[in-house]
A and B are shown apart, each in its own frame.
Chain A
Amino acid sequence: GENVEQHPSTLSVQEGDSAVIKCTYSDSASNYFPWYKQELGKGPQLIIDIRSNVGEKKDQRIAVTLNKTAKHFSLHITETQPEDSAVYFCAASIGGGTSYGKLTFGQGTILTVHP
Chain B
Amino acid sequence: DAGVIQSPRHEVTEMGQEVTLRCKPISGHNSLFWYRQTMMRGLELLIYFNNNVPIDDSGMPEDRFSAKMPNASFSTLKIQPSEPRDSAVYFCASSLTSGDLAKNIQYFGAGTRLSVL
Question: Taking beta carbons and an 8 Å cutoff, which residues of A are in contact with B?
Answer: 31-32, 34, 36, 41-46, 49, 51, 89, 93, 95-96, 98, 100-108
Within the complex, what minimum Cβ distance (angstroms) separates A59 from chain B? 14
Write out the residue numbers on chain A whose beta carbons fall within 8 Å of the beta carbon of B42.
105-108
Within the complex, what minimum Cβ distance (angstroms) separates B112 from chain A? 10
Check B43–A102 contact: CB distance below 8 A. Answer: no
Bin the interface of chain B by size: 20 to 34
Check B105–A102 contact: CB distance below 8 A. Answer: no
Check A43–B111 contact: CB distance below 8 A. Answer: yes
Question: Taking beta carbons and an 8 Å cutoff, which residues of B are in contact with A?
Answer: 4, 31, 33, 42-43, 45, 48, 50, 55-56, 91, 93, 95, 97, 99, 101, 104-111
**Total CB contacts across the A-B interface at under 8 A:** 57
Check A44–B91 contact: CB distance below 8 A. Answer: yes
Q: Which residue of the partner chain, among A96, A103, A108, contacts B106 with CB atoms under 8 Å? A: A103
Check B101–A95 contact: CB distance below 8 A. Answer: yes
Given contacts A43-B109, A44-B108, contact A102 B101 (CB under 8 A): no
